[in-house]
Amino acid sequence: QLSVLHKFKGILFSNMSSEELLNSLDSFDAREDDVFLVSYPKSGTHWIAEIIESIPNARITLTSSIELGDISKLEELKMYSQRRVIPTHLCYDLLPANIKQKQCKIIYIIRNPKDTAVSLFHYYRDNPNLPYIETWSAFFELFLRGEVVYGSWFDHVLSWEEHRNDKNILIIFYEEMKKDFPKSLKKITTFLEINVNDSEINKIARKTSFSEMKNNSVKENFDPNHTVCALTSDRNLVFRKGVVGDWINYFTSKQKRVFDELFTEKMKHSQLARFLEEIS
């Protein structure tokens, strides 16, 4: 059942990320104006990608994920002449060294881990590039142990948390985007040093609403330029519910207790966790 996944440096990856590519990521040639869009899977990566693409005069090109494909990927990324926005689900430690040295801009998006787990459960079931897990309770156990693609949510977030005050890193919360879209959008555009006016903000909000993106996914499907997540090029698999708090429909009270205990333990020194608790 795990045949669609493989382990690299102790972390599970889909077979769509070749070991050879993962091994050579450190020879990736970062450019100073590159922007990296980083997330644990199912945290709202496609949403942020669409937002950035919708900013007028951004003059950027959204590429596919840096860890998707084989070794030819590194050559392919050289062909873009515009400023590149490059998505990835890598944890901080696996991020190519060059990106850190050049202090490229990085946007890290975080989502409440319970909703992330439920979203990833559905992705596992619907996405042929991931193992099929029969029940929510079986998936829940795997998620808790970090035996899922890209490893433990906790370790991923904590790896990025250490760098939350670096001036080249912006952290955005899914829940805050839902609650106050203009505020999150302004954070993004300020960070990217692009001006947007109020009417442009409204336009972007409409264009990147869940319903709009879900409707468009049909016609944009299988366009490799829109492969934001290294786990699929099928956008139909991405837009499920797009809400905050769907976990309540899946977690039993015992699962909630077990999860909260682990969260408290793992995230006891985490500022990001405090913010997540406030906003969720």
Binding site for ligand A3P (CB under 6 A): 39, 41-47, 115, 119, 122, 208-210, 213, 229, 238-242, 246
CB of 102 to ligand A3P, least distance (A): 25
Q: How far is the CB of 75 from ligand A3P (least distance, A)?
A: 26
89 is catalytic: yes
> Smaller CB distance to ligand A3P: residue 20 or 225?
225
Distance in Å, CB of 29 to ligand A3P, minimum: 26
Partners of 62 in beta bridges: 85
End-to-end Cα, the chain, rounded Å? 34
Annotated active-site residue in 46, 89, 156, 226: 89
**Beta-carbon neighbour count of residue 198 at 10 Å?**
8
Measured from the CB atom, is 79 or 219 closer to ligand A3P? 219
Q: How far is CA 235 from CA 86, 221, 223, 226, 229, in A?
A: 17, 5, 9, 8, 9
Distance separating alpha carbons of residues 249 and 246, to the nearest angstrom? 6
Would you say 188 or 238 has its CB closer to ligand A3P?
Answer: 238
Residue with tokens 């990320």, as numbered in its chain = 17
Least Å distance, CB 269 to ligand A3P, is 26
Contact 60, 105 (CB under 8 A): no
Contact 185, 205 (CB under 8 A): yes
Q: How far is the CB of 32 from ligand A3P (least distance, A)?
A: 26
Rounded CA separation 1/24 (Å):
27
Q: Phi and psi of 71, rounded to 5°? A: -60, -25
Q: For residues 24 and 71, is the Cβ–Cβ distance under 8 A?
A: yes
Among the listed residues 179, 160, 180, the one whose alpha carbon sits nearest the alpha carbon of residue 170? 160
Active site positions, annotated: 89
